[in-house]
Amino acid sequence: MQGTILLVGCGKMGGALLHGWFKRGLSPVDAIVVEPAGRDSVTACSDHRALTVLPHMTDVPRDFRPDVILFAVKPQMADQVIPTYKSFTPQHPVYLSVLAGKPTSYFRKHLGDEAAVVRAMPNTPAAVGKAISVLYAAPTVSEVQARVCEVLMSAVGQVTWIGDEAQMDAVTAVSGSGPAYVFLLTECLRDAAIEAGLSPDLAAQLARATVSGAGALMEAGETDPAVLRKNVTSPGGTTEAALNVLMAEGGMKPLFARAVAAAAKRSKELAG
């Protein structure tokens, strides 16, 4: 991995990305982190003492010319943070954002119409290198810059692109928020196991292993989930009895449809 990176914000997502870049061969001397909370909050640099961590953009050395400026601060900090980086725009870096709810037009408003902006929506499995990130590039982004952003995001998992930024609300609702739905499913399975008479420890172990194992089975091949479900379901058996409840009218499918629609609606509202 080559090039210079200015990482703005190094919490859980920024830290996961930084860790992934180091594993891919990025030299700490080619990256600078701006983290107002200080070095102790930078989760991925404990083994990289050569990494420069600064509290403010004005502390960045004047001779540092980043190829990529990646914004990973909390969305509520955006209005304070983003405009201060406009001075870099004449140097033609690509601005890569993982801020939820902030469209590319927001960044070009604050950074200049000529700013090259790529918007990314990763999810929390980035912490273990199992994220799925969806990217959208503004028209000002070159093919080379787009490829650089793809390489950077691939350090924490799969990457795919969309050509219509309006789809990002649905992406946020499905994959951005999706891990929480899976964690809730695991909670429900655990609690149902306890109600069925299992001890809390055994219920938790079975629920976690079942959900993670099923995920690994899906990842191992390209078999449609519906086929995998049918493979587990014997006619007249226990799985069929449970699915008759879960797939009944008003069951999981319409419930998930309403949940994703609610998340997508909220994403639109946050974008303004």
Alpha helix (H) residue ranges in 58-160: 78-81, 104-111, 143-154
pLDDT in tens, 111-166: 999 999 999 999 999 999 999 999 999 999 999 999 999 999 999 999 999 999 99
Asked if the structure places residue 171 within a domain, the reply is: no
Rounded Cα distance between 49 and 83, Å, is: 29
Q: What is the pLDDT of residue 43?
A: 57
Rounded to whole angstroms, what are the CA distances from 33 to 9, 61, 79, 85, 260?
Answer: 7, 12, 19, 14, 34
Domain end among 140, 165, 190:
165
pLDDT in tens, 3-43: 899 999 988 999 999 999 999 988 888 999 998 765 555 65
What is the CATH classification number for the domain harbouring 242? Answer: 1.10.3730.10
Task: Report the SS3 class of residue 207.
Answer: helix
The counts of H helices and E strands in the chain are 10, 8
Q: What is the pLDDT of residue 3?
A: 83
Are residues 86 and 120 part of one domain?
Answer: yes
pLDDT in tens, 71-120: 999 888 899 999 999 999 999 999 999 998 899 999 999 999 999 999 99
pLDDT in tens, 219-262: 998 899 999 999 999 999 999 999 999 999 999 999 999 999 99
Are residues 191 and 104 part of one domain?
Answer: no
Asked if the structure places residue 92 within a domain, the reply is: yes
Whether the predicted pLDDT of 46 surpasses 70: no
Are residues 52 and 159 part of one domain?
Answer: yes
Are residues 205 and 157 part of one domain?
Answer: no
Asked if the structure places residue 109 within a domain, the reply is: yes
Structure tokens at 185: 């499913």
Are residues 197 and 105 part of one domain?
Answer: no
Q: What is the pLDDT of residue 200?
A: 98
Asked if the structure places residue 117 within a domain, the reply is: yes
Asked if the structure places residue 170 within a domain, the reply is: no
Asked if the structure places residue 230 within a domain, the reply is: yes
Are residues 152 and 182 part of one domain?
Answer: no
What is the CATH classification number for the domain harbouring 145? Answer: 3.40.50.720
Are residues 147 and 191 part of one domain?
Answer: no
Are residues 181 and 82 part of one domain?
Answer: no
For residues 48 and 225, the model is more confident at 225
Rounded Cα distance between 188 and 197, Å, is: 14
Task: Provide the residue range defining the domain that includes 54.
Answer: 5-165
pLDDT in tens, 160-213: 999 999 999 999 999 999 999 999 999 999 999 999 999 999 999 999 999 999
Are residues 158 and 191 part of one domain?
Answer: no
Are residues 185 and 78 part of one domain?
Answer: no
Q: What is the pLDDT of residue 38?
A: 59
Q: What is the pLDDT of residue 52?
A: 87
Q: What is the pLDDT of residue 84?
A: 94
User: What single DSSP character describes residue 172?
Assistant: I
Are residues 250 and 229 part of one domain?
Answer: yes
Domain end among 165, 194, 223:
165
Are residues 148 and 253 part of one domain?
Answer: no
Asked if the structure places residue 84 within a domain, the reply is: yes
**In the chain, how many domains are there?**
2
Q: What is the pLDDT of residue 134?
A: 98
Domain end among 143, 165, 187:
165
